[in-house]
Structure formats: C-alpha cells, structure tokens
Amino acid sequence: MLDIIRPGDRPYEEVRHVYTATGSPAAVIRPRTSAEVAEALRLARDTGGPLAIRSGGHGISSRATNDGGTVIDLAEMRSVERIDPGDDLVRIGPGARWAEVARSLRPWGLAVSSGDSGGVGVGGLGTTAGIGLLGRAHGLTIDHMVAAEIVTADGQVRTVDAEHDPDLFWAVRGAGANVGIVTAMDFRAARVPRVAHATLQFQVDRPAPFLEAWGATVENAPRELTAFAYLGSGGHAMALIVYAGDDTEAAERAFAPFADLAPLLGQRAVLVPYDAVLVGARGPHYGQQTGHVRNGFAVHLDRPLSERLGTLLGSLPGAMLQVRAVGGAVNDVPADATAFAHRHQNFNVAAMTHAPTSLLDKAWEDVRPALDGLYLSFESAFSPQRLADAFPPPTLHRLREIKRKVDPDNVFHQNFPVA
C-alpha cells in the first residue's frame, strides 16, 4: 500500500518543506519501489493539481514541494549497492544524499564525483550534471552513469542505457526532470581511495584581480586538481581544493600557487577519503536556505568578466559568489553525448543573495553577456532566456523531439520545462 502523508498526519511537518522553500502539499507520497512510483504517478495524475518530484529536497529551484498538490518523495529509495565488483558498478537510489553515497563507497575505495554538499540528493543532481570536486579528474556525475531506471508519464518502468532507449538515456543525463521520474541510477565509480584536500581562507580586498589570478591558476593546474572558490561581499574568500589522488608531494606542488593569490587567513591540507570532503547531511527541511541564485559558464575568468563579477559583488548587499572549476575530464566528453552540452568551458560562476530578485537580475544583466551557457541546477528562477542558455539549439531541439514522444501531455513541466 502506498505511504501517503496528508496535512494533520504526524510526519507531515517533516515532509512538507524543502531546503530552499516552504510548502503545503495536499499529499506527500513516499514510494519504496519503482512500481510504487508508477502507482503514485497514476494517482497524482488522476487527482490533478500541481505535481512535484523530490529526491533530496535540495533543489535550488524550490520545485520539489508545492501548495495543495501532490509530492512524490523518493527519500525511501536510497540504497547504495555494488552491482559488479569487477567493474566497479554501483546502483544508487535517487533519495540517497551524496554524503551517504560517498560513505557507502569508501570501503571499496570508490567514489562518484558529486557536488560540494553532502546534503544534496542523488536524483536532482544526477539528472542535470553534477559539478563536483573530482570534476577535472573524473568528469561530471552524469559522465559516470551507465544506465538508469525511469518511470515515464505513461506509467511504464523502463531501464535505459546506451542500447535500450538511447534517446531517453541521453535526455536523463542533463534534463532528467523533463522526461520522467528516475528511480535508480547505475554508475561506474572511479577508484579514488583517498584525496588531498586543501581549505584556504583569504583576505580579498579587490575581487576582480583575485578572480582573474584564480582563474589562471586553476587552468594551469594539473587535471587531478579541482578548485571551488566562494567570495563574500565582506572581503573574505574561501577555497576548497581537491587533488584526486594520494601523492602528497604532487598535491603540495599543485596547491602551492593558490596560497600566493591573496593574504591567507587560514590554511589546512589533509589526506582523506572523498566522503570527508563533503559537508552537509540528511536533516529536516524547513526552507532554511532561501535566496536567489543566477549562474553561467565561462571559458576563462578573464579581466572583463572578473571586473563585472567584482562589480556585482560590491553592488549586491550580502551577496556571495561561487566559482566552480569544470574543464579537464568534463571537457573530454563531446557536447552532443549528453543533454548537458557545456563541454568547452572551464568555470561555472554563481551569484546568490537575499536581496530582492530585481536587484540581482539588474546586476546579473551586466555579467551575463560575458558568460557562455548556464547550469539549470544553479538557477532559482526560470525564463525562456535561461532555457536557451542552458540548452544550446541542437540540444533543445533533440530534447523537444524526445519530450513530444515520451511526455506528450507535459506531465513533467516543473523544473526547466523544455516544451
């Protein structure tokens, strides 16, 4: 029998909200199997009203809850199993969080690159890209995916891979939310028993020159290294840097140029299993992380872009700028191999603020012309312009063809709808 939680039921308070928003759905259905997901979908379609699909509930777009509708919450589907020890294949449920995944893979010396937050769910991140701290060494999360199980709008449970429903498999890796509910993902994990992990804190009085130098340093680093920088408007910055391997001398050499970028307020480097890099875990959601986010990709953090980003940081109260490295192994994959097509850029930059969206949009309009593409998982709002930035014309065209066949009624229109 389906587990359906309604207002007034004891667990309702724990399941109504997500990380970035509050909600008041009429029903939260918690399936335990793909057959139950299909049943939940049928029920939701028969009932009518808004529908939300939730895995970890950490979506920046806040679309995993609603008011008065149905939420299909995959939190109970969170197993992490090793399918084939010889081939390092693992099967992961969408409701698992990336911290749990990393912990489960650790005894086998394996890792799947995810994002920087352990609290983020497998379903949301694994269907869009997965820009993580093993990215330049091992690629995006979706680049490790070899198969997925998905419930489509007609209620069918399908296993998709390079040979079976290849179009759907292509779409799942970049635009999964548009084509169905992913109920399991098979990944070929990387052998990464330990990583060297550096955390640096800087005093940054002038963000623009810091960003330009940061960009050049990242691009000159060996591809074992991936670095994320977080700049606040108060003159401080933090860096998370991972060297994907346990050669501490090589890691030290790779880390060294970063320490010269600005006066250091703190520094720490440790050799740890990958799961120690991920912060955040499973915890109650109550809309604790509200705010607005805009992002884009860039090939280089050149002077014009760095200056625009520096101006934005100075003009938005309480803003934070996040600069995540991509490139390396991410760009070894052809742009048309997955529905995530951004394979020539070296950085993703995201700005977040609690200031009104009108202020953010105004400031972002000055930055956007210097950017090249967009990651839908770092956008808190949707617009046709953002859709076009996320999916270049050939990708969007192919996605729409697939969408027409697999979801003609546009059931899955919640998150960056391509139709």
The answer to the question of residue 306 lying near ligand FAD (CB under 6 A) is no
Report the nearest approach of ligand FAD to the CB of residue 272 (Å): 18
Q: How far is the CB of 140 from ligand FAD (least distance, A)?
A: 8
Interface mask (CB under 6 A) for ligand FAD, residues 380-419, using x and -?
----------------------------------xx----
- Segment interacting with ligand FAD, rule: CB under 6 A, options 2-10, 130-138, 190-198, 210-218: 130-138
Q: How many residues bind ligand FAD (CB under 6 A)?
A: 34
Q: How far is the CB of 369 from ligand FAD (least distance, A)?
A: 24
Residue 358 CA to residue 364 CA, distance in Å, equals: 10
Q: Which stretch binds ligand FAD (CB under 6 A): 79-87, 177-185, 238-246, 254-262?
A: 177-185
From the list 5, 38, 125, 227, which residue makes contact with ligand FAD (rule: CB under 6 A)?
Answer: 125
What token pair was written down for 104? 């489960």
Among 34, 55, 306, 338, which residue sits at the site for ligand FAD (rule: CB under 6 A)? Answer: 55
* Closer to ligand FAD by Cβ: residue 130 or 310: 130
Nearer to ligand FAD, 250 or 272 (CB): 272
120 binds ligand FAD (CB under 6 A): yes
Segment near ligand FAD (CB under 6 A); pick from 122-130, 335-343, 379-387, 398-406? 122-130
Tell me the residue ranges of DSSP E strands in 47-156: 51-54, 70-73, 80-84, 89-92, 110-111, 145-151
- Integer Cα distance of 54 and 61 in angstroms: 12
Q: Which of residues 25 and 94 has its CB atom nearest to ligand FAD in the complex?
A: 94
Do the beta carbons of residue 211 and residue 306 sit within 8 Å?
yes
Q: How far is the CB of 248 from ligand FAD (least distance, A)?
A: 25
277 binds ligand FAD (CB under 6 A): no
Residues in contact with 290: Cβ distance below 8 Å, sequence separation at least 6, in sequence order: 20, 21, 354
Residue 60 touching ligand FAD (CB under 6 A): yes
With beta carbons less than 8 A apart as the criterion, state whether 287 and 64 touch.
Answer: no
Which residues does 381 contact at the CB level (< 8 Å), separation at least 6? 61, 292, 357
Are 373 and 389 in contact by the 8 Å Cβ rule? The answer is yes
How distant, in Å, are the alpha carbons of 127, 182, 225, 230 from that of 415? 11, 14, 32, 26
> Applying CB under 6 A, which of residues 93, 121, 139, 296 lies at the interface with ligand FAD?
121
Instruction: Name the pairing type of β-strands 27-29 and 70-73.
Output: parallel
Alpha helices per DSSP H over 127-245: 135-138, 166-175, 207-220
Residue of closest CB approach to ligand FAD? 124
Residue 171 engages ligand FAD in binding (rule: CB under 6 A): no
For residue 161, the cross-strand partners are 147
Interacting residue with ligand FAD among 21, 181, 200, 204 (CB under 6 A) = 181
Contact between 124 and ligand FAD per CB under 6 A: yes
Chosen residue from 17, 30, 54, 308 binding ligand FAD by CB under 6 A: 54
Q: What 3-state DSSP class applies to 51? A: strand
Residue 345 makes contact with ligand FAD by CB under 6 A: no
The residues that bridge with 9 in the sheet, in sequence order, are none
Of 58-66, 202-210, 355-363, 390-398, the segment contacting ligand FAD by CB under 6 A is: 58-66
Handedness of CA 376, 196, 238, 209 (dihedral sign): negative
Provide the b/e sequence for 318-354 (b: ≥16 CB within 10 Å). Answer: ebbbbbbbbbbbbbebeeeebbbbbbebbbbbbbbbe
Residue 94 within binding range of ligand FAD, rule CB under 6 A: yes
Residue of 23, 93, 130, 245 interacting with ligand FAD (CB under 6 A): 130
Between 229 and 268, how does the x/- string for binding to ligand FAD read (CB under 6 A)? ----------------------------------------
Question: Smallest gap, in angstroms, from Cβ of residue 117 to ligand FAD?
Answer: 4
Strands (E), 178-280: 181-188, 190-191, 195-203, 225-232, 236-243, 264-272
Give the residue, chosen from 58, 173, 223, 285, that forms a contact with ligand FAD under the rule CB under 6 A.
58
Q: Annotate 131-155 with b (16+ C-beta within 10 A) or e (fewer).
A: bbbbbbbbbbbbbbbebbbbbbbee
Point out which residues bind ligand FAD (CB under 6 A): 18-19, 53-60, 63-64, 74, 94, 115-117, 120-121, 123-125, 127, 129-132, 176-177, 181-182, 377, 414-415
